[in-house]
């Protein structure tokens, strides 16, 4: 690796020639991010876990441009992640952007400690914290190789407000934010690390939350609506293009819900 900085971190309006790996790449935020990055010229690698290979391939085919890839990999299986990273290295040579958007949660009120079982705590932390770390570990060599890498961790305002789907999810997102800061310092200037923290987003991520919940919450948000997946994807795009002199921080995209 060249010890001299090869990037001036100036804004750009193109991602031509860049390779973006996205966990949860066929999910709501992951796929929306892929669409935005692909339109700017990026080659996207979608990692998926819970759907068919045919469905994942169809989503990749819907992206602008060509050469996009899909791989089945669980973020809780480090060997699987390493195997995919090896395949990406063979087919792409390098990775410029890693978006960690795979996640899992379950709604449990903060006062219901009995419902927040040991198994649920372990599952939430395993996917939302350990899974992110395992993915970063697997792809860091390829990100460092680019000498201008970017990691975007899809976090949540739960990580700093303490209000979220459950307390284990709060802990996982807070951990990712703080560890992301540490990683940003450890791997600078070759890899930037940013947390993007949505509030309530119109998706099926939290089971059981529907239109009634969304309408009730929207009335309490300063900007008077809940977020969309494209609101979040737009910030991801900005991290890769216009906000290049940014690392080791959290970008909140919640319409002011945290206020």
User: pLDDT tens, 135-150?
Assistant: 999 999 999 999 999 9
CB 23 within 8 A of CB 100: yes
> Residue 6 pLDDT more than 80?
no
Higher-pLDDT residue of 2, 228:
228
Q: Which of 179, 167, 168, 223 is closest to 199 using CA atoms?
A: 223
Q: Assign 213 a pLDDT band (cuts: 50, 70, 90).
A: confident
> Residue 53 pLDDT more than 60?
yes
> pTM for the full model?
0.94
User: Which helix (H) or strand (E) segment is 151 a member of?
Assistant: strand 149-154
* SS3 state at 184: helix
Active site residues: 169
Q: What is the rounded average pLDDT of the residues 84-94?
A: 98
Q: What is the rounded average pLDDT of the residues 199-212?
A: 76
> Residue 1 pLDDT more than 60?
no
Task: Please give the pLDDT value at position 4.
Answer: 43
> Residue 215 pLDDT more than 90?
no
> Residue 90 pLDDT more than 50?
yes
CB 6 within 8 A of CB 148: yes
Q: Assign 7 a pLDDT band (cuts: 50, 70, 90).
A: confident
Q: What is the rounded average pLDDT of the residues 145-165?
A: 96
Neighbouring-strand partners of residue 162: none
> Residue 227 pLDDT more than 90?
yes
CB 41 within 8 A of CB 14: yes
pLDDT > 70 in the chain, percent:
95
- Tens of pLDDT, residue by residue over 108-140, are 999 999 999 999 999 999 999 999 999 999 999
- Tens of pLDDT, residue by residue over 39-50, are 999 999 999 999
Cα angle vertex 239, ends 238, 245, to 5°? 115
Task: Please give the pLDDT value at position 141.
Answer: 98
User: Furthest-apart CA pair in the chain: how many Å?
Assistant: 54
């Amino acid at each position: 690796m060249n010890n001299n900085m090869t990037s001036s971190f100036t804004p750009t309006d193109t991602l031509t020639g860049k390779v973006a790996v996205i966990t949860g790449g066929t999910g709501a935020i992951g796929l929306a991010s892929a669409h935005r990055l692909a339109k700017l010229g990026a080659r996207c690698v979608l990692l998926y876990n819970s759907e068919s290979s045919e469905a994942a391939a169809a989503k990749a085919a819907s992206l602008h441009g060509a050469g996009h890839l899909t791989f089945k990999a669980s973020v809780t299986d480090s060997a699987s992640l390493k195997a995919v990273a090896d395949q990406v290295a063979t087919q792409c040579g390098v990775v410029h952007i890693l978006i960690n958007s795979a996640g899992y949660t379950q709604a449990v009120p903060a006062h219901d400690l009995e419902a927040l079982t040991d198994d649920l705590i372990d599952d939430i932390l395993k996917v939302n914290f350990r899974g992110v770390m395992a993915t970063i570990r697997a792809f860091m060599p390829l990100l460092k190789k680019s000498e201008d890498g970017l990691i975007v961790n899809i976090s949540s305002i739960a990580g700093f407000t303490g209000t979220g789907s459950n307390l284990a999810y709060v802990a996982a997102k807070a951990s990712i934010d703080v560890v992301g800061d540490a990683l940003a310092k450890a791997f600078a200037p070759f890899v930037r690390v940013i947390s993007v923290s949505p509030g309530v987003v119109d998706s099926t991520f939290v089971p059981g939350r529907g239109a009634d919940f969304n309408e009730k919450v929207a009335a309490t948000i300063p900007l008077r609506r809940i977020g969309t997946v494209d609101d979040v994807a737009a910030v991801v795009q900005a991290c890769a293009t216009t906000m290049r002199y940014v690392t080791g921080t959290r970008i909140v995209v919640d319409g002011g819900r945290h206020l």
